[in-house]
Every structure is written in C-alpha cells, then in structure tokens.
Amino acid sequence: MKKCMFIVTVLALFLAIPAFAAQSMKIAVAANDKVPTATVSGQAAPAPYFLFFDEKGKLLETVQNPYKDADRAGPSVVGFLAGKGITVVVAGGFGPKIVDDMKAKGITPVSFNGSAQEAVKKVLQSK
C-alpha cells in the first residue's frame, strides 16, 4: 500500500510540474535601445532589441534582434521568441499575420507606447 501511495504521489508531482511552469510569465519588449528606459519599438519584427523580463519585472537579458533586417521577419522573430520561452510580447503595434503566428505559439501580443519598463508594469498590473 505504501508503494502504491508513493507512486501516486510521484505521478501527481510530475503532472503538476508542467502546470506550474505554464503559470510563469516571460515578457519580451521590442525596444529601440538596450536599456529598460528605452522606448518601445513601433513593431516587433524590425525592432533593434528585445528586452526580456520575468514575471516580477526583473530584466533578465537584452538581445539584439537577429532578424531585424530580414525580409518577412515576423515568423522568424516569433520562432526566436518562442524558443526563448516568451509568453508576452510588447510592441507599439502588430500586424494580423504576426498576431496569428504568436497566438499559435502561445504568445500574447500587447500594444504599448512608452518606455520598456512602463510596458512591463502595465503587463504585470493586467495579469
């Protein structure tokens, strides 16, 4: 009986891990510079930089957009951000195609004008 309870407990823990992981938020802000005070870029795909923040608003990483000059950069940018575990992308605006691509990858687009740090505050207040 104890062995059965142990197995049930272990299985419950393994099933709970993905649910817990799905609750964490990782925010990418399309930005015109590499600092949190930078203005949010008008569009995500051609943004010069992405600033990655955690669910507490802490800046985790700043990366140069490797696809900013690519033709039809949207799908490549979405794949790149999905690969980084991003769940929310902030930019000044989004076209319908990139929104569809993001939603297909479980990424929520958020339109915002202002600084990256203000954008993150808005996202965190709305969750």
Going by C-alpha positions, the residue among 43, 36, 25 that lies closest to residue 88 is 25
pLDDT tens-digit profile of 45-70? 999 999 999 999 999 999 999 999 98
Q: Which domains does the chain have, with CATH numbers?
A: 25-125 (3.30.420.130)
pTM, two decimals, is 0.81
Is the confidence at residue 13, as pLDDT, over 70?
no
pLDDT tens-digit profile of 37-47? 999 999 999 99
